[in-house]
Amino acid sequence: MDFLFASIVDGLLLGFVYGIAAMGLTLIWGVMNVINLAHGPIIALGMFGVYLIFTMLGLNPYIGIVLVAVLGLLLGMLIYYVAVHRVINAPHLSTLLATFSINMIIIGLGTAVFSASPRNVDFSLGSITLGPITLLGSRVVAAIASMLITGGLYAFLYKTRQGRYIRAVANNRDAAELMGVPSTQILALSFGLGTMLAAVAGALIATFFPFTILAGGVYELKSFVIGVLGGLGNPVGALFGGLILGVLEGIIPTFMPTTWVPVLEFVLFVLILLVRPQGIFGAKK
C-alpha cells in the first residue's frame, strides 16, 4: 500500500512537469491551430540548455532554467517568423510539415554537435521524507516550479495587455486584427511562449533523468496524449491531464509490466480522440 501511495505521489510530481510540456503544445494549438511537431526537439534543447549552463557556466541549474526559458521564448519566435508565418493560413499539412522540418533540423544539427551519448545534470537536491514516503528533492522543486510557472502564465494571459491580445487572437484572429491587435507579433509571441514552456519542461526533466538529443520524442508523444486528454487549447486542462497521466504511469506498473504503459497510453489517446475529442476539460472552440 505504501508502495502504491509512493508511486502515486511520485507520478503526481512528475505529472506537473508533463503538464508544463503539454501546456506548451496546447497553447500554440489554442492560439493558432498549429500542432508544433518541433515540440520534442525543443524539449531536448531545454535539457541540453540547462546541462550546458550547469557544466560550462557552473550556474545552479535552477537559475539556469530561467535562462533556458528566455532562450526558449526567443527560439520559438524565430521559428515562427522563419517557418510558420508564411503558411499560417494554409491547410494543416503545411504547418505540420513546416514544424516537422524544424524538428528534423534541430535533431540533425543536435546529433552532429552532441552525438548520441547520454548526458546528465549532476545536481542533487537530496530527498525529503514525509511520513511513509520519501520524495526526491528535485521532483518537489520541479513540481513547485511548475505550479509557479502555471500561475505566472495565467497572470500574464489575464492581467497584461499582451496576454489579452493573445486571448483575443485565440478567440477570433480576424476580429482581433480589425480591432488593431498586431496579430503577427502576437502569434510569434504565443509560439514563443509555447516553446518556452517546452524548453522549461525539458530543463526540469534534465534534473531527473539522463538524456540525449532524441529524448524529447517520448515527451512529445506524452504531450499529445495529455493535450488531447485535457482538451486541445486548454492550458489548465493540460496541467490536469499531465497529473492524470503522471499518476497513471505511477500506478500501472504496480500491476502490469512497465512495457504495457505505452500501449495503454496510446489506446487511451485514440479512444479520447474518437469518443470525446474535446478532452475531459473541453477544448478551445
Given the rule CB under 8 A, which residues bind another protein? 29, 33, 35, 83, 86-87, 90-94, 96-98, 100-109, 111-112, 221, 224-225, 228, 257, 259-260, 262-263, 265-267, 269-270, 273-274, 277
- Taking the complex as a whole, the smallest distance from the CB of residue 88 to another protein amounts, in Å, to 11
Task: Give the Å distances, CA to CA, from 209 to 28, 44, 99, 190, 203.
Answer: 27, 12, 26, 29, 10
- DSSP 8-class letter at 209: S
- Residue 238: Cβ within 10 Å count: 34
- Taking the complex as a whole, the smallest distance from the CB of residue 100 to another protein amounts, in Å, to 6
**With respect to another protein, which residue has the nearer C-beta, 104 or 179?**
104
Indicate the angle between helix axes 161-171 and 137-159, nearest 10 degrees: 80
The C-alpha cell 476539460 sits at 281
**With respect to another protein, which residue has the nearer C-beta, 10 or 265?**
265
- Taking the complex as a whole, the smallest distance from the CB of residue 174 to another protein amounts, in Å, to 15
Helix (H) or strand (E) holding 129: strand 127-130
- Taking the complex as a whole, the smallest distance from the CB of residue 93 to another protein amounts, in Å, to 5
- Residue 10: Cβ within 10 Å count: 19
**With respect to another protein, which residue has the nearer C-beta, 57 or 270?**
270
**With respect to another protein, which residue has the nearer C-beta, 88 or 196?**
88
- Taking the complex as a whole, the smallest distance from the CB of residue 9 to another protein amounts, in Å, to 26
- Taking the complex as a whole, the smallest distance from the CB of residue 277 to another protein amounts, in Å, to 6
**With respect to another protein, which residue has the nearer C-beta, 56 or 113?**
113
**With respect to another protein, which residue has the nearer C-beta, 64 or 194?**
194
Question: Which has the closest alpha carbon to 40: 136, 92, 107?
Answer: 107
139-177: string of b/e by CB count within 10 Å (b at 16+)?
bbbbbebbeebbeebeeebeeeebbbbbbbbbeebeebe
